[in-house]
Structure 1
Amino acid sequence: MTRGLVFNSSPLCSQDSSTKEALKAHWLMQALPDFGIVQLTGSRADNIQAEFERALGDSVLYWHSSELFSCFAELLADTLSISTTDHAYLQHCLRKWAENDGVLWLVVDGEALSHELLMQIKEYAPLSKKGQFAIRILLRISDQKLHSRAFKPLLSVIHERVAWPELSHLHTSLSSSGQLHQPSVLSRYRATALWFCGVTVIAVGILFATQNKPVSVQRIATEMVLDAGSVELLEEQKPMAILEPISKNEVLKVSEFIKQWSSAWQAQSIDKYFSMYAQGYSAYSYMLPDEWRLWRQERLKKPTWISIEIGPIDLVRVSKAEYRASFWQLYRSDSYQDDTLKVLSLREEGGALKIIDETNQEVRLLSKE
């Protein structure tokens, strides 16, 4: 899942505010068919939304109150002239509508709607014959509200985020060159990490004390230094046993696998590409594996050409037969370009590596110039 698409990278820094907002609105129009729901937040969200609505005209619907529609099903039934809000029948009608190239652009005010209403927007995600989402939702909601525990199921279906950097934020800083820097994941979770490390050091110290064995607090604290990707999941993970270091042969094996995976993607080789994923894999919880493959196949075939470059790979062992590989991926095609921090979870299955999870940690839109 990708959360963190912040438009403050160098390709856009030289543009004035109105130009940046127009670029973001244009990107939203390109991204929503492929992602279904995109989060919009930040101090310039109103301007970006205005550009978005200006570009699409009267085709944009706005949902900000239960007084307009008491539930999402009612909104869809009323807008698309469907005679019932029965869940099963509505899903059937939406599938037929989407297959006939129906499209609905929708701006949802997540700050104004209740938790119950917001959770409903993930229930209806019909796909067109081209594998694109027919209902395209621009969700106006703050990070603070969206990342609360109650919204975890909704967060799992939002894979992209457009935000304007908050210059007034305490943790935002400017370098001597004037370039804007966002806080790292580690700095944002420093308190949690320090608490976790402190409690662990104390617990281990007590354990060793009861066994009359000396303990080096410095050594324990050093061993508990966490990488940025781990800190974000502290509440959900249990401490793992100490694992063996990764051998050179394993590094070469994983690197070759990722090279073959990116080559199959670049060559638009459908069968080879899908063979590198675990059986029954789907990137989205609301898509069956066959539905995900159909959607993904259309996205693979759509560009006239694809070029992919893989940067240095950071490899971590998760278990004896499972790895996590992180790397920057430069993706270019005839219609779209970005630079993505990709994370692949890989596992040995039948003597061969397979992808069991694929996440975009950060996406940087690249200009077409």
Structure 2
Amino acid sequence: MNIKSLLLGSAAALAAASGAHAADAIVAAEPEPLEYVRICDAYGAGYFFIPGTETCLKIGGKVRTEGEWYDAYNRTSKVGTLWHTRAELNVDTATDTEYGPLKTETIVRWDWNDGGSTTTNLLWSYISLGGFTVGKTDSYYNQFVGYAGDVINDDVIYDGPYELNQLTYNYDAGNGFTAVVSLEDSNSGSDSTTYDGAWVQSKADHYAPNVVAGAGYKAGAWSFKVVGGYDSIVEEGAVKARVDADFGAFSAFLMGGWNTDGDKLNQYAGSNQNISACTAPDGTVHGAKCGWGDWAVWGGVGVPFNDKLKWNLQLAYTDSKIFEATTNLKFNPVKNLLVEPELTYVHYDVAKDDTVAGILRFERNF
């Protein structure tokens, strides 16, 4: 064997060995590009795309703590001071579809009062698409007209139901005209009545949903809305009409309600008051007098002094001669922080009594 043959053989052996090692080598995969959170501004501030989807998500909420002195809804309450703390978590989603945005809104609420335990409530949880809303939210008998005044105790005089399941259609013509139609759950409970028999809320009589319908028009600084609700259990209902005006230096509203039977309470002309509101000094209970009677009226003004301070006043009166006056100051020392002292006076004609109640609220929204 000559030197040339030896060198060629060695080179071949080395090449074979190198090939064997190369076959066993692990090749690292290329790293996948990171997907950063993208802002979704199509549905307003605070939304972002859920990574890997075309669904936008918004997370928010509030923390509130407040001291309450006496009770505007119960003239016999002996609780001099009550401290209440609340937290809420809001989760909203939105996805663009051929029928418009497919949205959901969920609000979970936790409450704690002095001497009590924490309670949890699924406040709202609904789906909306193409003008339709299905799920749990406040009755559109309230939402459509905008509730009552810009005060905490705006429903000392009952203005309608809140949390309930519903199927609702909202129409907006785009020229100031709006309308709503809603089928709502009655929130009926056990087979019983309240307010000494004046308000029937019995499951046994619940065969059909309640119905709400309304229409409104807005032109410039003025708006007018009317809405009606029918209680399928009581087989009665109520109608509310509201006028709002914004004059720049102040805003004002006037709202009136009519009960189809003033001797009964129903879901749309009911009462938030303790039965003591319609209990005479001799102990006689006049259940229907805890509600409107035949009619109720609300009015109020709001005066913004600057972008941090606003004063509000609401007055309300009923055919059953319950009078309410509430005033407050809404102070925002910094963005998303509210300090709100409020004072309410209520006079009960049947009970020949008065109540004064106060609230001092601190609230941080995010």
Shorter-chain TM range is: under 0.3
The structure whose Rg is larger is 2
Query: TM-score w.r.t. structure 1 length?
Result: 0.27
User: Going by fraction, where is strand more abundant, 1 or 2?
Assistant: 2
The structure with higher relative contact order (CA 8 Å, sep 6+) is: 1
